[in-house]
Structure 1
Amino acid sequence: MMGHSHAMTGAIAWLGLAPAFTAVPLLNESTRFIDTGIMATALTPAELIAGAIICAGSAMLPDLDHPSATIAQTFGPVTWALSKAVNWIAGGHRGMTHSLVFAAAMGFGAHWLAGRYPIGRDIMVVLMIGLALRAIGVGIPGNKLGSAMINIGLTAGLYTVFMSLGVGYAWLGLAVGVGCLIHVVGDCMTEKGCPVLWPLAARWVLPWKIGIKTGQKFETKVLAPVLSVAIVGLLFWRLAPI
């Protein structure tokens, strides 16, 4: 799948599943749990939206093993060099990073970071917001510098808004893990599949023996609009007054 498809499926996964995830006490701010005692309503609207954006950005992380992917180009030479290193360690594109092991490791790592190091947590939040904006194509076509400046400005603005609204990030690890996992599921729907049970080399393709061709008309003309409508519908469903 292309970057924007991965990002949108990440946002959809969060908007669809987050209310159920909030039933887990460790994924909520302890003070709010003590105050309300109701886990199903622990996510505020701002946290729901923040989670959707971060999950969308995290859905780009498995492609860090591809030096030509969106994520490798997002932050210039830094992410490109990191991508080259990950590509070598992972044994090429769609290797280790496209597995359950990677998704779990990133999820638990982010959860640990959120609980131990606030500065590191905030850096990760900012990076995931930036990745999400880049993936969905926010910017000026054909103008890399202008697009980068818009991305930086919007990322800083969103982070500031989330901070001003008191967004808690006890769910950060879950959003990151789900984003990585939904990326793997998406690529399993393409013709090449993924080594889901890495280090086992077998590649999984879903639906069985039916693969979507990445970047072809079905993805760009059919799937992308459907995913966009799904995001709008889920936002309305979750946030509209009852």
Structure 2
Amino acid sequence: MMGHSHALSGAAVWLAVAPALVALPGVLGPEFATVTGPILTPPELVAGAVICAGAAMLPDLDHPSATIAQTFGPATYLLSRGVNAISGGHRHATHSLLFAAFAGVGVHLLAGRYAVGREIVVVLMIGLALRAVGFGVPGKTLTSAAVNVAMTAGLYLTFYSLGVTYSWLGIAIGIGCLVHVIGDCLTERGCPVLWPIKGRWLLPFDIGIKTGKTFEKQILGPALSVVVIALLCLRLMPA
């Protein structure tokens, strides 16, 4: 899938499952209240959708040639090169259930121990989300990076001023990565879901989505945009 499809899918899934996440403390135990936090308050809900959208791009940092790797210019490009080398190339380790779980748990532990680490993750996810949905200047890598930095800073400061807690950060990262994996399983190439076990999961009979083709650009993308807007209105509508 293309970047904007992944990002919109991440935002849509977050908005869809947010009420269920709030119910976790009652089902799994009160200790989960510190993990979920005030997810359904408007600032947290919007921030969660943005963070999950960015996290839905995280697995593609294994692709240095992808637009998303240019989000913050040389910084994200070098990060992408490192991820590519460690993961074994594009659509390998980062496109698996193991990576989604590792990313979610790892970020939760990081956020709980190091405030600076949490803020770095938040900034990166906001930047990835904005870049994925098209904020930038076509053909201008450094200009696009500068635009993204400015918009990311503005959105980050907005969330900060509204008192967003990010107690749910690890959950949003894990869900976003999982959404990406599921999305790519619906394409013609599939994903190594059970990595390091070999084999790719994909739709049978060659009916997978053709990345970047007419269906994704003219039908799937607009449909996901409508779903995100509809869910956002539904969640923010006064009871």
Between 137-146 and 183-192, report the one with greater CA deviation.
137-146
**Offset of residue 241 of structure 1:** 1.9
**Aligned counterparts of 1:169 and 1:178: Cα–Cα separation in 2:** 14
Q: Could you say which residue in structure 2 is the equivalent of 1:36?
A: none
Is the 1:10–1:58 contact (alpha carbons within 8 Å) kept by the matching residues of 2? yes
Is the 2:6–2:57 contact (alpha carbons within 8 Å) kept by the matching residues of 1? yes
Correspondence 1:184-203 to 2 at 5 A: 184-203=181-200
How many residues are aligned here?
234
Q: Could you say which residue in structure 1 is the equivalent of 2:235?
A: 238
**Aligned counterparts of 2:204 and 2:184: Cα–Cα separation in 1:** 11
Q: Could you say which residue in structure 1 is the equivalent of 2:62?
A: 65
Correspondence 1:73-112 to 2 at 5 A: 73-112=70-109
**Offset of residue 93 of structure 1:** 1.1
1:120 equivalenced with 2:117 (yes/no): yes
Correspondence 1:141-160 to 2 at 5 A: 141-160=138-157
Is the 1:196–1:204 contact (alpha carbons within 8 Å) kept by the matching residues of 2? yes
Coordinate RMSD, CA, aligned: 1.9
Q: Which amino acid aligns with 1:119?
A: V
- C-alpha change, 1:71 and 1:28, in structure 2 (3 Å) is farther
- Unpaired runs of at least 5, structure 2: 26-30
Correspondence 1:129-168 to 2 at 5 A: 129-168=126-165
**Offset of residue 140 of structure 1:** 3.5
**Offset of residue 210 of structure 1:** 2.1
**Aligned counterparts of 1:213 and 1:239: Cα–Cα separation in 2:** 34
1:204 equivalenced with 2:198 (yes/no): no
Q: Could you say which residue in structure 1 is the equivalent of 2:15?
A: 15
**Offset of residue 154 of structure 1:** 1.8
Structure 1 residue matching 2:166: 3-state secondary structure:
coil
**Offset of residue 145 of structure 1:** 4.1
1:154-191 Cα offsets, whole Å, 9 max, x none, are 21121112111111111000000000000000000001
Greater than 6 Å deviation, 4+ residue runs: none
Between 195-204 and 207-216, report the one with greater CA deviation.
207-216
Correspondence 1:166-185 to 2 at 5 A: 166-185=163-182
Q: Which amino acid aligns with 2:5?
A: S
- C-alpha change, 1:148 and 1:56, in structure 2 (3 Å) is same
1:201-223 Cα offsets, whole Å, 9 max, x none, are 11001367421111111101111
Q: Could you say which residue in structure 1 is the equivalent of 2:28?
A: none
**Aligned counterparts of 2:231 and 2:87: Cα–Cα separation in 1:** 35
1:75-96 Cα offsets, whole Å, 9 max, x none, are 2223222322322222221101
Is the 1:22–1:42 contact (alpha carbons within 8 Å) kept by the matching residues of 2? yes
**Aligned counterparts of 2:68 and 2:160: Cα–Cα separation in 1:** 25
**Aligned counterparts of 1:27 and 1:133: Cα–Cα separation in 2:** 30
Q: Which amino acid aligns with 1:11?
A: A
Q: Which amino acid aligns with 2:158?
A: V
Is the 2:61–2:80 contact (alpha carbons within 8 Å) kept by the matching residues of 1? yes
Q: Could you say which residue in structure 1 is the equivalent of 2:223?
A: 226
Task: State TM-score, norm by structure 1.
Answer: 0.90
**Offset of residue 107 of structure 1:** 0.2
